[in-house]
C-alpha cells in the first residue's frame, strides 16, 4: 500500500507530457497541447502567445508576449483539429498567421501570409522568453546591464560592444538558431523554402537573438536594416519554433503534411517545378550561389527565392514561381543573370555565364568577391562595433604593394577616423603610362565614396552612391549595394619609382567618428 501511494504521488508530479493532444478554449485563452510536453496558450483577442510550458517549465516571459511584428493589436483567432493536426489561424485585414501542431511533436510549425507590410511594426516573428528558463543566447547580443553607445541598439557591457544585430547570420546559412537553458532549448528552424518571400537576398542578414531582461528569439521576414530592395508580400515560411530538451534540432524540417491544410498563399509540392542550372566562366576558388527571383507584373507583389551553394556545376531546385530571373553570384558579388520558366511537375534548365569584369592587373589588393574578407578587422566586424577595444587600430593605414599583407588594409574607411588610406607602389618603366585604378565597395553610409590622389594628380569626385537609409557596418554587416569606381590615371602621372596613391572618403554629409560617411572595401586594382 505504501508503494502504491508513492507511485501515485510520483505520477502526480509528472509534467503534462501525458496530457491529451488538442485545443481547448477558456475565456480569452486558447490552449494548444501537443500531447508530448509542450502547452501553448494563445490570446484569442490578438493572437499573442501568453504562456508556453514545456514539461511543466514556463518558457514565456510574463511582461511581454510572443507575437508577430510588435503585436497585431486585434485579430480573429480560430482553430481546427483533424487527423492529429491542430491549426490555429490568426487573421487581420492584411495578415493571416498560422500556428500548427502535430500530435506528439513539440514544435510550433508557422506560416505567415501578408498582403501588406504590418502597420504595427516590421514583419517579424519574435518569441519573448523567460530569461531564467533559457539564459543562454548569443554572447555578442547579450545586452542586459549594458550602456547604450549608439542609438538604442548598440551597447557597451563589461568593456565589450554588444548588439542584437551581432546575432545575425546570412540567410543562406541561417537554418537553425536558438537559446537554451537547463533541460530545454527553443530553436527557430527556417528551411530554404522558408526564405522564399523574404526580402534582401541570400546574403542579407537580420536579428536572430537579443538577451535583455528577457530572452528574445527572432525570425525576420522584412525589415529596414540595411535594406537593399523593396519589402515583399505573400506567404512567408513554412518556418518553425521547436522546443527540445536542449539539443539543436535538424534543419531538415518536414512540412509535407502542411500541403493539404489550405494555408493562404502556400504553394504545395504539386504546384512546384524543378530547375537545374549550369554556371560557366567562373573565378577559381570562389563559391557560387544562384538566386531566383520572380516579379509579379507591375510590382514586387510576391517573390519566390531559392538559394543554393553549388557543390558542382549542376544542381536542382524545387520552385513554385512561373518565370524567374536567375542571378549568379561569385562569392557575394553579382556576376551574371539569366531567366527560366518554371512549370509545375516539370524540369527546366538554365545556363549562366559569368560576365564579371576581372581584368589582368598590375596588382590587386583583396579578392573580387563582394566582401571585405581578409582585410583589417573584417574577421571581427560581424560581432563587434568598430569602436570595440578588441578591434585592431583602424589607422589611417599606409599600405605598400609587394610587402604589406592584405590583413593590414582597412575593410572600411570612415571620414572622421581613418582617412585617407595611402598606397605606396614602386613601378617599373613598363608599368607606367595611362592606367586605371578600380575600387570596388560593398556598402556605403551617408554618401561615403572614394576619391583618389595619385602623386600630384587628383581625380574628379564620383557621384554619390545609391542611398540605403540605414546604418550598416556599425550594425555588423558589410552587405549593401555593390559599387565599382573606375579612376582614369592620365599618362605622365605615374613614375618609374615610388608612387603615392591616396584614397579619401568624401561626402557632402558629416558625422561623428564611426557614424561619419564611410564605405566598405571589396578590392582595389590597378590595370
336 and 367 assigned to the same domain: no
> What is the count of structural domains for the chain?
3
User: Which parts of the chain sit beneath pLDDT 50?
Assistant: 1-17, 295-315
Cell of 350: 538554365
How many Cβ atoms are within 10 Å of 42's Cβ, its own excluded? 26
- Considering the domain architecture, whether residues 101 and 242 belong to the same structural domain is answered as yes
| Helix extents (H) in 49-191 | none
The pLDDT assigned to 117 comes to 84
* Whole-number pLDDT of residue 304: 34
Residue 136 belongs to a domain: no
Contact assessment for residue 340 and residue 350, using Cβ atoms and an 8 Å cutoff: yes
Based on the domain organization, do 217 and 306 belong to the same domain?
no
Say if 140 falls within a structural domain: no
Domain boundary among 321, 353, 385: 353
* CATH number of residue 304's parent domain: 2.60.40.1120
Q: In whole angstroms, what is the distance from residue 121 CA to residue 338 CA?
A: 35
Same domain, 249 and 301: no
User: CA-to-CA distance for 172 and 511, rounded, in angstroms?
Assistant: 33
Do residues 174 and 52 both lie within one domain?
A: yes
pLDDT value of position 308: 42
| The pLDDT of residue 479 | 93
**Integer Cα distance of 473 and 475 in angstroms:** 5
Q: Is residue 2 part of a domain?
A: no
Indicate whether 195 and 279 sit together in one domain.
Answer: no
DSSP assignment string, 438-491: EEEEEEEETT-EEEEEETTEEPPPPPPPPP--S--GGGT---S--EEEEEEE-T
Output the pLDDT for position 182: 98
Last residue of a domain, one of 353, 372, 405: 353
Closest alpha carbon to 296 in 270, 323, 319, 272: 323
Label each residue of 22-35 as H, E or C: EEEEECCEEEEECC
- Domain co-membership, 254 together with 273: no
Structural domain includes residue 486: yes
Say if 396 falls within a structural domain.
Answer: yes
Cα angle 407, 411, 414 (rounded to 5 degrees) comes to: 135
Is 308 found in the same domain as 189? no
pLDDT (0 to 100) of residue 336: 86
Nearest to 53 by CA among 83, 68, 69, 33: 33
Residues 331 and 369: beta-carbon distance below 8 Å: yes
CATH assignment at residue 393: 2.60.120.260
Under 8 Å between Cβ of 123 and 113: no
Contact at 8 Å (CB) between 370 and 523?
no
Domain membership of residue 5 (yes or no) is no
Whether residues 74 and 115 fall in one domain: yes
Asked if 173 and 287 touch (Cβ cutoff 8 Å), the reply is: no
Whether 39 contacts 33, CB under 8 Å: yes
Q: Are residues 184 and 304 in the same domain?
A: no
Quote the DSSP letter at residue 282: P
What are the angstrom distances between the C-alpha of 314 and each of 35, 281, 310, 338, 351? 44, 14, 7, 15, 10
Last residue of a domain, which of 240, 260, 280? 260
**150 within a domain of the structure (yes/no):** no
Enclosing domain of residue 77: 10-131+165-260
Return the CATH number at 204.
2.70.98.10
Residue 330 included in any domain: yes
Euclidean distance between CA atoms 85 and 257, whole angstroms: 9
Q: Do 76 and 192 lie in a common domain? A: yes
Q: Does 125 share its domain with 255?
A: yes
Looking up cell 557575394 gives 332
Amino acid at each position: 500500500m505504501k508503494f502504491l501511494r508513492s507511485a501515485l504521488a510520483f505520477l502526480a508530479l509528472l509534467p503534462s507530457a501525458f496530457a491529451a493532444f488538442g485545443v481547448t478554449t477558456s475565456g480569452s485563452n486558447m490552449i494548444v497541447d501537443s500531447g508530448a510536453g509542450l502547452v501553448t496558450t494563445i490570446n484569442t483577442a490578438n493572437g499573442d502567445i501568453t504562456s508556453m510550458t514545456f514539461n511543466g517549465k514556463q518558457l514565456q516571459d510574463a511582461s511581454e508576449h510572443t507575437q508577430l511584428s510588435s503585436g497585431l493589436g486585434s485579430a480573429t483567432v480560430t482553430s481546427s483539429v483533424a487527423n492529429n493536426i491542430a491549426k490555429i489561424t490568426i487573421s487581420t485585414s492584411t495578415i493571416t498567421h498560422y500556428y500548427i501542431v502535430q500530435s506528439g511533436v513539440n514544435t510550433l510549425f508557422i506560416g505567415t501570409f501578408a498582403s501588406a507590410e504590418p502597420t504595427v511594426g516590421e514583419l517579424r516573428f519574435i518569441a519573448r522568453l523567460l530569461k531564467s528558463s533559457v539564459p543562454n543566447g548569443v554572447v555578442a547580443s547579450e545586452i542586459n546591464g549594458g550602456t547604450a553607445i549608439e542609438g538604442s541598439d548598440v551597447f557597451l557591457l563589461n568593456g565589450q560592444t554588444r548588439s542584437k544585430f551581432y546575432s545575425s547570420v546570412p540567410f543562406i546559412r541561417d537554418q537553425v538558431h536558438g537559446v537554451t537553458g537547463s533541460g530545454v532549448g527553443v530553436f527557430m528552424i527556417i528551411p530554404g523554402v522558408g526564405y522564399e518571400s523574404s526580402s534582401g537576398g541570400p546574403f542579407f542578414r537580420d536579428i536572430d537573438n537579443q538577451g535583455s531582461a528577457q530572452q528574445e528569439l527572432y525570425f525576420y521576414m522584412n525589415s529596414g536594416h540595411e535594406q537593399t530592395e523593396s519589402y515583399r508580400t505573400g506567404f512567408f515560411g513554412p518556418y518553425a519554433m521547436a522546443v527540445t530538451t536542449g539539443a539543436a534540432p535538424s534543419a531538415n524540417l518536414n512540412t509535407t503534411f502542411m500541403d493539404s491544410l489550405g494555408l493562404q498563399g502556400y504553394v504545395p509540392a504539386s504546384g512546384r517545378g524543378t530547375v537545374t542550372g549550369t554556371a560557366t566562366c567562373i573565378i577559381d576558388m570562389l563559391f557560387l550561389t544562384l538566386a531566383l527571383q520572380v516579379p509579379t507584373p507591375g510590382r514586387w507583389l510576391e517573390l519566390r527565392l531559392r538559394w543554393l551553394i553549388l557543390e558542382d556545376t549542376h544542381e536542382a531546385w524545387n520552385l513554385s514561381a512561373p518565370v524567374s530571373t536567375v542571378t549568379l553570384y561569385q562569392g557575394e558579388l553579382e556576376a551574371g543573370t539569366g531567366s527560366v520558366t518554371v512549370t509545375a511537375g516539370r524540369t527546366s534548365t538554365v545556363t549562366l555565364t559569368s560576365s564579371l569584369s576581372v581584368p589582368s592587373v598590375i596588382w590587386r589588393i583583396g579578392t573580387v568577391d563582394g566582401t571585405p574578407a581578409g582585410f583589417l578587422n573584417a574577421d571581427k566586424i560581424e560581432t563587434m562595433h568598430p569602436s570595440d577595444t578588441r578591434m585592431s587600430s583602424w589607422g589611417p593605414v599606409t599600405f605598400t604593394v609587394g610587402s604589406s599583407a592584405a590583413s593590414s588594409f582597412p575593410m572600411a574607411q570612415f571620414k572622421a577616423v581613418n582617412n585617407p588610406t595611402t598606397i605606396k607602389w614602386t613601378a617599373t618603366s613598363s608599368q607606367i603610362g595611362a592606367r586605371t585604378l578600380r575600387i570596388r565597395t560593398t556598402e556605403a553610409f551617408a554618401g561615403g565614396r572614394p576619391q583618389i590622389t595619385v602623386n600630384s594628380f587628383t581625380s574628379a569626385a564620383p557621384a554619390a552612391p545609391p542611398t540605403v537609409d540605414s546604418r550598416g557596418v556599425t550594425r555588423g554587416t558589410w552587405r549593401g549595394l555593390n559599387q565599382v569606381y573606375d579612376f582614369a590615371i592620365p599618362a605622365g602621372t605615374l613614375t618609374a619609382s615610388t608612387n603615392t596613391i591616396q584614397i579619401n572618403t568624401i561626402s557632402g554629409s558629416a558625422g561623428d567618428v564611426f557614424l561619419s560617411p564611410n564605405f566598405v572595401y571589396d578590392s582595389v586594382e590597378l590595370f
